[in-house]
Structure 1
Amino acid sequence: MSKSRNIFLLFLLFLLLVGCDKKIKRVDEERFAFGTFFKISVFSDNEKRTKEDIEKAFQEIERIDSKYNSKVKGSLVDNLNNLKQENFDDEGLYLLSEVNKAYKLSNGKYDITMEPLMTAWGFSEDVPPRETLPTNLELEAAAEKVDFSQIKVDGNIVTIKKDDVKIDTGSFLKGYAVQKAGQELRKAGVKSGFISAISSIEAIGSKGDGTPWKIGIQNPNNPSEILGIVELNNQSMGVSGDYQTYVEINGKRYHHIIDKETKFPVQDKKMVVVVNKNSLEADLYSTTFFLMPIEKVLEKANETPDLDVLIVDKNDEIYISKNLKFNKK
């Protein structure tokens, strides 16, 4: 058995700035946070000022990481997990409320207390690689510790009512960090640029010639190939795929998006792409939609303004919501 983490960028970014102003240039910076690399690129005619603006955006990413990441010792969520009660600020309460919306939308399938089941499958640095599939007894015991309904909010006090339950922020917090970084750049006057963090991206404005950004979507069967192109114009994108994070047991891959009911990885999809105007939601809903029936996902997308999805099912059929601009290769 081996544990693998796909390190390919989910997006091949076609970043050709078209225009006659030779002073405009692309300024790039990259930092490590949330266990992955964040990249910020901005088109500007003032490199010095732009680097200062990008630095402020990275400071915001680092603030979110240190304050809310469940994997960071001393963060609000880490304290909540250990002490079972913590005083959250309004920002933290907002994040929990957005998570609760996804929990309800998915009829409880999207659950940020899934860490015990993830660990049972070997998705933890604290356990050795698995050589055999987890037994039913192991999965049942882990599932007993999964229950988002045990998270209670009373004013600013957040309480975990059950000792074994813990929050994992991995499925949504990176998207929020991208969103907050984007807000910092827009506040600084940035008109054209992007932020990417593997499975999350935010496009600020359009390309220099006014046309949309063209983002290459990986083929889930071969991540080195492009499945097609999605156009973004001042929009965000989140992607969840069965090829991103997985374990290998007896020569077979098992990905990390687990169904609470079956206690096994979801079987009916290979990839979900979400496009909207909110990076937190794009990240959050790419996982949520992976756990929901395809027809329900399309129904939600088609009835919600500024929300689009692309789904690749287990048979490689592609489903697209009515307003998504997708050009298949």
Structure 2
Amino acid sequence: MPSKLTKRLRDFLLVVAMLAGCTHWLSPSIPVLKKRTQLHMGTLVTITALAPTDNAANTAIDAGFSEIKRLEQLLSTWISTSELSLVNASAGRGPVRVSPETVAVVERSLQVAEMTNGGFNIAIGPAVDAWNVSEHQDIPSPEELDTLKALTLLSGLHLDVQSSTIFLETPGMRIDVGGIGKGYAADQAVTAMRKAGANAGVVALSGDIKAFGRLPSERKFAVGIQHPRKEGAVLAFIDLQDEAISTAGDYEKFFDRDGIRYHHILDPSTLQPARACQSVSVIAKDGIWADGLDTGVFVMGPERGMELVERLPDVEAVIVDHAGNVHISSGLRHRIRFPIESDQEGHLQ
């Protein structure tokens, strides 16, 4: 099974390959397109900027990376001094005052949880650790999962927006915004890039991508959606302008045993891997919504998940169900493109 970093690199290269093809438009009479890659938030981050000059493009990229690094210091549970780490360390003891950014991410997380009927849950970390699909490949017993249930209930998370505090009422509870924080970071990085003078660009944190503006010749940014069962292959292409896309898939962290795939996207109601989908890609105006909804829709399954998507304004989705059938939301059907050699169009739902 490919390593975690290998999979992230593969997904990242899908985006890089598309952007690399854009450089043939460059000439001294049009803006400069620059691209740079760094490692942040536990993943490869690529920032592409289109600006009037080389210096302006580099300044915008610097601004984008600086904003991502700043947010990582607040939101990462891998950093012991981060605000969320302090919240988790104080579980069962008392509330912790946090920044407006942390409040915003947790507040949106709770909203996505409500929208997806609990399919998205930032308190599910103790159960994810019990499965540990990336390392020991454990299959926890039903009894073990039952003991963890109380630690994953969002009813034990108390967010006070007015006082900017978060309190986890049960010792051992912890929250992790990894399933929504990258989308938020992409949004904020784009804002920083615009302020720094970028006319257009892309911020890509592995499978979480935010695009703004247009390329020279008024072309949008083309992004490839990873095929969930063909490593390194593109399922479909979508052109983005002032939009974000985020993908959740059972191919990112998993192991197979006795013909069953065990992966990291757990159903909070059972604490077992969600089985109804292979992958879900959500397109939205803001990365924070796309990032949170892809996991929630994955857990809900193709039928209920697509019903939710169709009710939400400015939200679209591509869902690959457990059998490999491709479901496309109504507002996306005229925009999606399949590779010429693909047979997916025969499996559309």
Q: Does 1:48 align with 2:55?
A: yes
Letter of the structure 1 residue corresponding to residue 79 of structure 2:
V
1:47-105 CA-partner distances (Å, limit 9, x unpaired): 12221221121111000000121221111110010023201232222211101111111
How far 1:298 sits from its partner (Å)?
2.0
How far 1:34 sits from its partner (Å)?
0.8
Q: Does 1:181 align with 2:189?
A: yes
CA distance in 2, matches of 1:111, 1:149: 11
CA distance in 2, matches of 1:161, 1:66: 24
Aligned to 2:127: 117
Q: Structure 1 residues 273, 156: CA separation in 2 closer, same or farther (over 3 Å shift)?
A: same
Structure 1: any 5+ residue segments left out of the alignment?
A: none
Hey, which of these two has a bigger chunk of helix by percent? 2
Higher relative contact order (CA 8 A, sep 6+): 1
Partner SS for 1:326: coil
Aligned to 1:87: 97
Partner SS for 2:217: coil
Q: Does 1:327 align with 2:337?
A: yes
Describe how 1:27-106 pairs up with structure 2 within 5 A. Answer: 27-84=34-91, 85-106=95-116
2:281 to 273, 289, 299: 273
How far 1:290 sits from its partner (Å)?
0.8
- Asked whether the 8 Å contact 1:18–1:209 carries over to 2, the reply is no
Aligned to 2:261: 253
1:162 to 164, 170, 186: 170
Q: Which moved more, 1:136-145 or 1:195-204?
A: 136-145
Letter of the structure 2 residue corresponding to residue 67 of structure 1:
L
Aligned to 2:18: 14
* Structure-1-length-normalised TM-score: 0.92
How far 1:192 sits from its partner (Å)?
2.1
Aligned to 1:212: 220
Aligned to 1:139: 145
- Asked whether the 8 Å contact 2:116–2:293 carries over to 1, the reply is no
Q: Structure 1 residues 259, 47: CA separation in 2 closer, same or farther (over 3 Å shift)?
A: same
How far 1:33 sits from its partner (Å)?
1.0
1:249-302 CA-partner distances (Å, limit 9, x unpaired): 467531110112232211110010011110111111111111113233222322
Q: Percent identity?
A: 24
CA distance in 2, matches of 1:153, 1:42: 36
**Cα root mean square deviation, aligned:** 2.0
- Asked whether the 8 Å contact 1:203–1:213 carries over to 2, the reply is yes
How far 1:156 sits from its partner (Å)?
2.0
Stretches of 4+ moved more than 4 A in 1? Answer: 17-20, 248-252
How far 1:4 sits from its partner (Å)?
4.3
* Structure-2-length-normalised TM-score: 0.87
Query: For this pair of structures, how many residues does the alignment match?
Result: 324
Aligned to 1:303: 311
CA distance in 1, matches of 2:266, 2:3: 17
1:11-53 CA-partner distances (Å, limit 9, x unpaired): 4342215647445432112111111111111123411222122
Letter of the structure 2 residue corresponding to residue 97 of structure 1:
E
1:175-210 CA-partner distances (Å, limit 9, x unpaired): 111111001111223122111111100111122111
Hey, which of these two has a bigger chunk of strand by percent? 1
Aligned to 1:152: 158
- Asked whether the 8 Å contact 2:282–2:315 carries over to 1, the reply is yes
Q: Structure 1 residues 224, 19: CA separation in 2 closer, same or farther (over 3 Å shift)?
A: closer
- Asked whether the 8 Å contact 1:3–1:247 carries over to 2, the reply is no
Q: Structure 1 residues 4, 267: CA separation in 2 closer, same or farther (over 3 Å shift)?
A: farther
How far 1:109 sits from its partner (Å)?
2.7
